[in-house]
């Protein structure tokens, strides 16, 4: 098992990619602190891990709140005695950031706050704990939309999601350079369109789904489990000489 004995904090663990990462990392030997804004969702992921014989604790909190972020990390360290891995998977899009009717400015603020500030805050509190443990790995969830713009008809030029994920890519690079001599690697994943609850608002329409599939050379959307496998590579010693990377998991989307 590639993560035997490691302690991992995973945000957004209650659904989608975060849940898939939590379950896979547990199967690979990691002890999981599963964080989510929804206490019920975090607890459900923990139950799934424990049902398979893994070790996990729920850590509820809001990644945009500095005290919550500090407590998440503190609770993970209290539970496992150390922190080796952080996966910043908590995220929102403009479609699900706030209730319908919110102003464009409020949506912008919320998306940037969750996707970029949340990644910053949890990393801020996690990296010193990794340094105490002798090293570690941070895996941030960015997006292909952090590398290229939205396709026509999907997001629009004022959509906050691409800037938020572009910020994650740059934060990843900056943290990687700063943390390299501490034996801490920092990388990010840039998934294409993945079939999760986050994209369900798009994929529910057959025509939109067919359009999105046509944009990926492999002719389909990705699965959360496929992104989790890439996260496993970045979290494990298999990627021991990889830091500051933005790894695309996009079925060829950005290769077009």
Question: Which structural domain, as residue segments, surrounds residue 144?
Answer: 7-255
Q: Is residue 1 part of a domain?
A: no
Q: Is residue 30 part of a domain?
A: yes
Say what the pLDDT of residue 93 is. Answer: 86
Which is more confident, 156 or 62?
A: 62
Is it the case that residue 104 has pLDDT exceeding 90?
A: no
Q: Is residue 44 part of a domain?
A: yes
Average pLDDT over residues 83-110: 88
Helical spans, DSSP H, in the chain = 16-27, 39-51, 66-80, 104-112, 118-133, 161-179, 200-203, 206-215, 224-235
How many structural domains compose the chain?
1
Read off the pLDDT of residues 109-151 as tens digits, 9 standing for 90 and up.
999 999 999 999 999 999 999 999 999 999 999 999 999 998 8
pTM of the predicted model, to two decimals? 0.96
CATH code of the domain containing 200: 3.40.50.720
Say what the pLDDT of residue 95 is. Answer: 80
- The active-site residue out of 150, 161, 233, 253 is 161
Q: Is residue 21 part of a domain?
A: yes
Which is more confident, 220 or 198?
A: 220
Read off the pLDDT of residues 17-71 as tens digits, 9 standing for 90 and up.
999 999 999 999 999 999 999 999 999 999 999 999 999 999 989 999 999 999 9
Q: Is 150 a catalytic residue?
A: no
The end-to-end CA distance of the chain, in Å, is 36
């Amino acid at each position: 098992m590639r993560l035997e004995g490691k302690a991992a904090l995973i945000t957004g663990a209650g659904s989608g990619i975060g849940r898939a990462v939590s379950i896979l990392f547990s199967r690979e030997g990691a002890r999981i602190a599963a964080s989510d804004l929804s206490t019920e969702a975090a607890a459900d992921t923990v139950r799934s891990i424990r049902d398979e014989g893994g070790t996990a604790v729920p850590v509820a909190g809001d990644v945009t709140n500095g005290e919550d972020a500090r407590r998440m990390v503190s609770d993970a360290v209290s539970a496992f005695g150390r922190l080796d891995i952080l996966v910043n998977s908590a995220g929102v899009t403009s479609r699900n950031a706030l209730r319908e009717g919110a102003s464009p400015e409020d949506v912008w603020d919320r998306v940037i706050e969750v996707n970029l500030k949340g990644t910053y805050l949890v990393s801020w509190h996690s990296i010193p704990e990794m340094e105490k443990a002798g090293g570690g790995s941070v895996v941030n969830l960015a997006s292909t939309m952090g590398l290229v713009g939205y396709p026509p008809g999907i997001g629009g030029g004022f959509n906050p999601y691409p800037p938020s994920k572009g910020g994650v890519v740059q934060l990843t690079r900056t943290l990687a350079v700063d943390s390299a001599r501490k034996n801490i690697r920092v990388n990010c994943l840039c998934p294409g369109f993945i079939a999760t609850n986050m994209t369900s608002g798009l994929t529910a329409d057959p025509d939109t789904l067919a359009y999105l599939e046509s944009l990926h050379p492999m002719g389909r959307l990705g699965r959360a489990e496929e992104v989790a496998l890439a996260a496993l590579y970045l979290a494990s010693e298999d990627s021991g000489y990889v830091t500051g990377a933005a790894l695309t998991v996009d079925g060829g989307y950005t290769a077009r």
